[in-house]
């Protein structure tokens, strides 16, 4: 059994090791981004206030500052947490995928459970730079999603996102195929598209992934 951390991978090495294939059209992603989600006045005001701070200082923030000043407040405004699922930070995730034992710390995840994460359904990875000396942001997110898929053991899609500074890219892993969205920019009007996709996650998770509603 080989062991590897999430940080050791690139998309190319993941493709080769696990028989993955990146696709360029994805109905699941289309459905995710096109869900009818309303943003109320309170949410809009909150997002614009968070965005002001991001625009002023976001490019100089380190990863902890980006997480605490922007990513987590946006996630909490999306009202993910309840007694069935929650948004968890800096949790360890590990599992066996084919011939590898993969492990690492996930910057953020949505999972069943409200005190501690049980089954991961969405993985978030955050980077200050697009590629640093500890791996590729897209590959690190995808590696964590592979472990999440194994823990689910239900052949359903796994959702994710990687955040590089002010830029967000959403990912869907479905079987051995994965799709990476266009880049959404949190410092312009696309902050509302980002937020709608985060709010839509709760509906997708409960209605399609764990059937709690």
Q: Count of CB atoms within 10 A of residue 157's CB?
A: 22
pLDDT digits (tens, 9 = 90+) for 132-150: 445 689 999 999 999 999 9
Q: Is the pLDDT of residue 201 over 50?
A: yes
Q: Is the pLDDT of residue 127 over 90?
A: no
Q: Is the pLDDT of residue 131 over 80?
A: no
Query: What's the DSSP call for residue 70?
Result: I
Q: How far apart are the first and last CA of the chain?
A: 39
The confidence score (pLDDT) of residue 134 equals: 58
68 φ/ψ angles, rounded to the nearest 5 degrees: -80, -35
The confidence score (pLDDT) of residue 36 equals: 92
CA 26, CA 52: separation in Å to the nearest integer?
33
pLDDT digits (tens, 9 = 90+) for 6-60: 999 999 999 999 999 999 999 999 999 999 999 999 999 999 999 999 999 999 9
Token match 């709690």: residue? 212
pLDDT digits (tens, 9 = 90+) for 83-110: 899 999 999 999 999 999 999 999 999 9
Show the DSSP H helices in the chain as ranges: 11-18, 27-33, 41-57, 63-66, 72-77, 137-152, 191-204
8 closest CA partner among 120, 129, 124, 143: 143
186 closest CA partner among 69, 30, 105: 69
Token match 């590897």: residue? 4
Instruction: Return the CATH number of the domain spanning residue range 2-209.
Output: 3.90.1570
pLDDT digits (tens, 9 = 90+) for 152-199: 878 899 999 999 999 999 999 999 999 999 999 999 999 999 999 999
Q: What is the arithmetic mean of pLDDT over 100-122?
A: 93
The confidence score (pLDDT) of residue 173 equals: 97
């Amino acid at each position: 059994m080989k062991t590897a951390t999430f940080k050791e991978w690139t998309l190319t090495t993941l493709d080769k090791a696990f028989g993955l294939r990146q696709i360029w059209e994805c109905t699941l992603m289309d459905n995710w981004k096109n869900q009818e989600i309303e943003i109320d006045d309170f949410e809009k005001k909150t997002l614009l206030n968070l965005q002001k701070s991001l625009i002023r200082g976001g490019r100089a923030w380190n990863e902890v500052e980006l997480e605490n000043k922007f990513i987590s407040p946006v996630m909490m405004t999306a009202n993910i947490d309840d007694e069935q699922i929650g948004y968890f930070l800096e949790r360890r995730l590990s599992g066996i995928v084919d011939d590898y034992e993969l492990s690492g710390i996930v910057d953020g995840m949505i999972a069943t459970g409200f005190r501690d994460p049980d089954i991961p359904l969405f993985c978030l990875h955050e980077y200050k730079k697009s590629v640093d000396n500890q791996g590729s942001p897209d590959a690190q997110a995808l590696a964590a999603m592979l472990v999440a898929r194994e823990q689910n053991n239900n052949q359903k899609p796994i959702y994710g996102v990687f955040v590089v500074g002010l830029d967000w890219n959403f990912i869907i892993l479905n079987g051995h195929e994965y799709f990476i969205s266009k880049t959404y920019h949190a410092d312009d009007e696309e902050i509302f598209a980002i937020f709608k996709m985060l709010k839509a996650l709760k509906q997708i998770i409960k209605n399609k992934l764990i059937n709690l509603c």
